[in-house]
Amino acid sequence: DEAAFAFTSLPPWRAGTHRSNTDWSKRMDWAKSRVISGQPSGALVDESSFGQLLSERFAFLRQTQAYRLVGDDSEWQQKRGREKMTAVKEYVVEVETADGEDRLVKFVLVYNWLVHCHLISNVAVLSANTERYFPGTGSDLSQHDI
């Protein structure tokens, strides 16, 4: 939970001009955040509320045994690389849990200039049965150590 919270986006109005004067106590609510004009917007959560959010809506992510990147719809990887690397990124990931459950999940990441990397802003479960959309993927998910 702590690592997931650390890599979750800050709203732009809580970010300072330096790491030392930035309020890191609240982050974007994965379920209620949206990206507007390249910036995260929506509800905020503190670390304890974030743990509850993970338990209630995204508990399956804690049980991830394998995952596979299905698609990256980022603008900077399109148009022959003319878009900026700091653009909003959207990853679709197939997740397999310890109990054999498959889920298709979309992660939306926004670049944060204070930490010089993309941070998670929104997570959406697209499907609980990837076999329906990707026939033959149920049992041959390539393994990635978590």
Task: Quote the tokens at residue 133.
Answer: 């959309």
Query: Residue 121 burial by CB count (10 A; 0-12/13-18/19+): exposed, middle or buried?
Result: buried
Total residue count of the chain as it appears in this document: 146
Q: pLDDT at position 101, please?
A: 86
Q: pLDDT at position 5, please?
A: 95
Task: Quote the tokens at residue 92.
Answer: 């679709």
**pTM of whole model > 0.85?**
no
Q: pLDDT at position 43, please?
A: 94
Q: pLDDT at position 74, please?
A: 56
**Helices marked H in the chain:** 2-6, 47-57, 59-62, 130-133
Question: Does the structure show a pLDDT above 70 at 15?
Answer: no
Q: pLDDT at position 55, please?
A: 95
pLDDT in tens, 49-105: 999 999 999 999 999 999 988 866 555 555 555 567 788 888 899 999 888 888 999
Q: pLDDT at position 24, please?
A: 83
